[in-house]
Amino acid sequence: MDEQLTVRQVVQVAVETEALGAEFYRKLAARLAPEAEMQELFMTLARDEEGHAVQFRALQSNLPDGEQGAIGSEPAQYLTTLAVAERLLAGGGLLAQPERIGNTKDALERAYAIERATLLYYHGMRDTLGRGKVLDAIIEAEKRHLVQVMRYLVTGAKMRGLSDPW
């Protein structure tokens, strides 16, 4: 990649990923509507992702002019690698074709993979850009998503909310 990655571009990938994730989860919720609990889980995930997109847009709009510059070479390569992976999620990977998901287990496994990939990107953002209230809060929310989805996969437990402990 010849062009330098900027802070604004890094955050834009997060905005787009959250928006695509919300749309994907809404489609899964509709697909799994006969299973009320799964519909509720995926609608909750969709609402959370929509909220994260709003948070990232606000973060992006509040970037001081000085932070719009290029990111250093090594961190930029790492984030570019993760950003390309995020794009692949949408194009033909994890966020593609929710209508082809065969059953609840497949939907949960896909959701877990999406949340894990997204969390990895956000950790890369934090490693490069530093800690911040918004990014830290989103990372914590994404961790809770991982836990809840895995909880369903492992135990089949009923969800009582994203803060529900095992």
- The sign of the dihedral angle between the CA atoms of 52, 54, 56, 62 is negative
The pTM score is: 0.82
Host domain of residue 35: 7-155
10 Å Cβ neighbour count for 111? 26
Q: What is the pLDDT of residue 165?
A: 59
Contact assessment for residue 11 and residue 63, using Cβ atoms and an 8 Å cutoff: yes
Residue 42 in any domain: the answer is yes
Residue 165 in any domain: the answer is no
Tens digit of each residue's pLDDT (9 = 90 or more) over 119-150:
988 998 898 888 889 999 999 999 999 999 99
Please, which pLDDT band fits residue 162 given cuts at 50, 70 and 90?
low
Asked if residue 161 has pLDDT above 60, the reply is no
- Measure CA of the first residue to CA of the last residue in the chain; give whole Å: 43
Residue 161 in any domain: the answer is no
Bridge partners, residue 70, by sequence: 6
Tens digit of each residue's pLDDT (9 = 90 or more) over 80-90:
776 666 555 55
Tens digit of each residue's pLDDT (9 = 90 or more) over 59-82:
888 876 654 566 777 777 777 776
Q: What is the pLDDT of residue 80?
A: 72
Phi, psi (5° rounding) for residue 64? -65, 150
Number of separate domains in the chain: 1
Q: What is the pLDDT of residue 97?
A: 79
Bridge partners, residue 6, by sequence: 70
Quickly list DSSP for 124-159. HHHHHH---HHHHHHHHHHHHHHHHHHHHHHH-PPP
10 Å Cβ neighbour count for 133? 9
Q: What is the pLDDT of residue 1?
A: 44
What does the DSSP 8-state code read for residue 72? Answer: P
For the domain that residue 75 is a member of, what is the CATH number?
Answer: 1.20.1260.10
Q: How far is CA 72 from CA 56, 77, 79, 130, in A?
A: 21, 9, 11, 13
| 5-17 mean pLDDT | 84
Q: Please give the mean pLDDT across all residues of the chain.
A: 82
Q: What is the pLDDT of residue 4?
A: 67
In angstroms, the CA 58 to CA 33 distance is 32
Residue 27 in any domain: the answer is yes
Q: What is the pLDDT of residue 117?
A: 87
